[in-house]
Amino acid sequence: MEKYTIYHNPRCRKSREALQFLKETDHEGEEVRYLETPFTKELLQKILNQIELQPSAVLRKNESEWKNIPNRTSLHEDEILNCLVKYPKLIERPIVIIGNKGVLARPLENLILFLKGN
């Protein structure tokens, strides 16, 4: 079984649930607390490619950091990606990567289905 990498915020209940599920199902891997170890633009783009989502699909639009961006409704995907790198709190979590594939594990059912396919 390949090891996972979970991009995780321990203050987030959904993120904690996904990590707990991985541990309870005897998966081994690495926990990356992305608020403490921020993404580079290149790494975040790679992860988005692995989960097959655009930056706008993982954007937490209710966060104040997003609401404070004056031209936010007219940003292109690359500009949104830059915002996610600058303000990692805007990234929906958790994200789980196994091998070259991954999933936005919110809700937890996404992770369960992903693991069945791996």
Nearest-10 Cα torsion for 19, 85, 62, 20:
0
User: pLDDT tens for residues 11-47?
Assistant: 999 999 999 999 999 999 999 999 999 899 999 999 9
- Rg of the chain, C-alpha, whole Å: 14
Give the C-alpha separation, 79 to 56, whole Å: 10
pLDDT one-digit tens code per residue, 40-68: 999 999 999 999 999 999 999 999 999 99
Say how many Å lie between the first and final Cα of the chain, rounded. 9
pTM confidence score: 0.94
Q: Which CATH architecture has domain 4-117?
A: 3-Layer(aba) Sandwich (3.40)
Structure confidence at residue 117 as a pLDDT band (50, 70, 90) = confident
Where in the sequence numbering do the catalytic residues fall?
Answer: 12
> Could you give the maximum distance between any two Cα atoms of the chain, in Å?
46
